[in-house]
Amino acid sequence: MIVAAASCRRAGCLLVLSLLLGSCSKAPSTAGLPAFADLVDAVSGSVVNISTVPVDAVASSAAPEAPTAPDADPSARENMPDWMKKFLEQHAPEGYGGGAPEGSDQPEGEPGLDEPLGAEQSLGSGFILWDDGYVVTNAHVVKDAKEITVRLQDRRELAATIIGVDEPSDIALLKIDAKDLPAVKIADIKKLRVGEWVMAIGSPFGFDYSVTAGIVSAKGRSLFTEQYVPFIQTDAAINPGNSGGPLFNLAGEVVGVNSQIYSQTGGNSGIAFAIPISVAVSVAEQLKDKGKVTRGWLGVVVQEVTRDLAKSFGLSKAEGALVARVVPGSPSDEAGLKPGDVILSFNDEPLVVSNALPPLVGAVVPGETVPLRVLREGKQITLKVKVGELPPDALGAPQPQLPLGLAVERLTAQDREDAKVVDGGGVGIAGVEPGPAQKAGVREGDILLSLSGQKIDSPEKLKEVVEKLTPGASVPLLIQRDGAPLFLALDVPAADSKK
């Protein structure tokens, strides 16, 4: 009995040892991870490459952060390892890196590998929205384009015309002369979950049909550049040239249009933003049917509810949008909204943060009446507001002014009168990101009057002054806060510093 037990123990040890050795000799299991190959085969036909020739024949970037070609600086190419030089010579797309390969039949006078990408064209991506030739891409991909060429997966190259462009959402709708095309499937964006797998297909740096994958990092992100878009954030590798391309879920449905990257280098850093497909489709339908896009408008200026403000209003947590100003005669004014009200929900959608309000309002059809749940003097009330149409002059604001970390908006005569700005100048501070302005003490709601001794009366003037500032210098910044002027010291970032 003892011998038998010992034998069993030895056998058990041998069995465990055998299992351990067996596990070490095999590759790690990939169970549970998605397989993308079949998905790529199923959806690639709907993705297109878009190239443009700008009106002035000078390159317009396929993405705002696009860097120059790696060999635009001859010294950079000299420092490349031999294998990289050889790779660029053999595989780089037209116009991107070091000379046509030996024996090439490239016609004389055409863009060659010695010319940096963008000398005559820019590259971007897009996808077929409807099978009768309608293609969606980003507005910035085709901005100022004289000629647009759409290349399909079967290598056909077709001239495209612009049906319409909507810069606030960064969406453009193109039309090519083709039918029975493989259109994408549209996802139900309400079912999109943070953490689920997504896949991007596009032409980063001109490399057609590059596939990258990641997850949904966040939803409803608000950026100063497009305040009417609740962006999807993803860590899928997105680079210049991916702009306008689709972001797919594992069901092969488009959930978003890749639009922007957050990067200090111009390349992928794991933070990319896509326009929700629901926004893109709505914009595309309006551009097709009406040639323009209309958005809802309340006519309020709101600010974030901080923890301290929440406590003062009797809220258990920081939420909602605090009304700082109501535009006279606006829909919110007619509905009875007042400064000091905290908007807790709009059209039955709770407001976790204040910047969630503009996309919700913008998505409402002008003329529709919706409920507004408001906290006023410690009590919750419900107002009915008939949403108006966003005025055209409001579409361009706020505008980001970097590298200061500011978003500013143009002031109307009424704004200046209400704020008691006496000299007719100033721009409103609509938002402050981490950066030099925030360190200097600038706050959202301030009015910027002058910078470095230069009077500021428009976003364009501020941009002009910012571009002339000396990197590393300290300059005076004059703001107006609560009706009183206040000077602050602004440290201009060095040329190589982060924004």
Task: List the chain domain ranges.
Answer: 46-99+113-176, 185-290, 296-392, 397-491
Contacts of 272 (CB under 8 A, 6+ apart): 233, 234, 235, 236, 237, 238, 242, 258, 260, 261, 262
pLDDT of residue 161: 96
Q: What is the DSSP string of 104-120?
A: --PPTTS--TTSPTTSS
Q: What is the DSSP string of 153-165?
A: TTS-EEEEEEEEE
Q: How many of the other CB atoms lie within 10 Å of CB of 489? A: 11
CATH of 46-99+113-176, picked from 3.40.50.300, 2.40.10.10, 3.30.70.260, 2.40.50.100, is 2.40.10.10
The DSSP bridge pattern shows strands 145-151 and 47-54 to be antiparallel
What integer is the mean pLDDT of 479-490? 86
First to last CA, the chain: 77
397-491 homologous superfamily: PDZ domain (2.30.42.10)
77 pLDDT band (50/70/90 cuts)?
A: low
Per the model's pLDDT, the better-predicted residue between 2 and 197 turns out to be: 197
Say if pTM beats, i.e. exceeds, 0.85: no
pLDDT of residue 382: 96
493 pLDDT band (50/70/90 cuts)?
A: confident
pLDDT of residue 350: 94
Can you say whether the dihedral through the CA atoms of 90, 92, 93, 99 is positive or negative? negative
pLDDT of residue 413: 82
The CATH fold assigned to 296-392 is: Pdz3 Domain (2.30.42)
Catalytic residue set: 140, 170, 243
CB 209 within 8 A of CB 47: yes
pLDDT of residue 224: 58
Tens digit of each residue's pLDDT (9 = 90 or more) over 426-458? 999 988 877 888 889 999 889 999 998 889 988
- Residues facing 432 on adjacent strands: 406
Asked if domains 185-290 and 397-491 share a fold, the reply is no
Find, among 482, 485, 487, 491, the residue nearest to 438 by Cα.
491
pLDDT of residue 57: 53
Tens digit of each residue's pLDDT (9 = 90 or more) over 329-364? 999 999 999 988 999 999 999 998 888 899 999 999
The DSSP bridge pattern shows strands 157-166 and 171-176 to be antiparallel
Contacts of 237 (CB under 8 A, 6+ apart): 200, 204, 212, 214, 268, 270, 272
Can you say whether the dihedral through the CA atoms of 186, 244, 174, 399 is positive or negative? positive
Find, among 287, 284, 281, 55, the residue nearest to 148 by Cα.
55
494 pLDDT band (50/70/90 cuts)?
A: low
User: What is the H or E stretch that residue 331 is in?
Assistant: helix 331-335
Tens digit of each residue's pLDDT (9 = 90 or more) over 212-230? 999 999 998 877 556 789 9
pLDDT of residue 95: 42
- Percentage of the chain with pLDDT > 70? 75
Q: Which residue in the block uniquely carries the two structure tokens 């290349």?
A: 151
Per the model's pLDDT, the better-predicted residue between 304 and 374 turns out to be: 374
Q: Measured between alpha carbons, how far is 61 from 140 in angstroms, rounded to an integer?
A: 8
CA 455 to chain centre: 31
Residue 485 tokens read as 């002027």
Supply the CATH classification number for the domain 185-290: 2.40.10.10
pLDDT of residue 325: 81
Residue 130 tokens read as 């409807």
pLDDT of residue 78: 54
Q: Measured between alpha carbons, how far is 446 from 424 in angstroms, rounded to an integer?
A: 15
Per the model's pLDDT, the better-predicted residue between 56 and 207 turns out to be: 207
Q: Which of 163-177, 359-373, 434-448 has the lowest mean pLDDT?
A: 434-448
Find, among 224, 221, 228, 227, the residue nearest to 274 by Cα.
221
Question: In this model, does residue 30 exceed pLDDT 70?
Answer: no
The DSSP bridge pattern shows strands 369-376 and 379-386 to be antiparallel
Helices and strands (DSSP H and E) totals, the chain: 12, 28
Across 87-96, 107-116, 273-282, the highest mean pLDDT is recorded for: 273-282
Q: How many of the other CB atoms lie within 10 Å of CB of 6? A: 10
pLDDT of residue 498: 36
Question: In this model, does residue 26 exceed pLDDT 70?
Answer: no
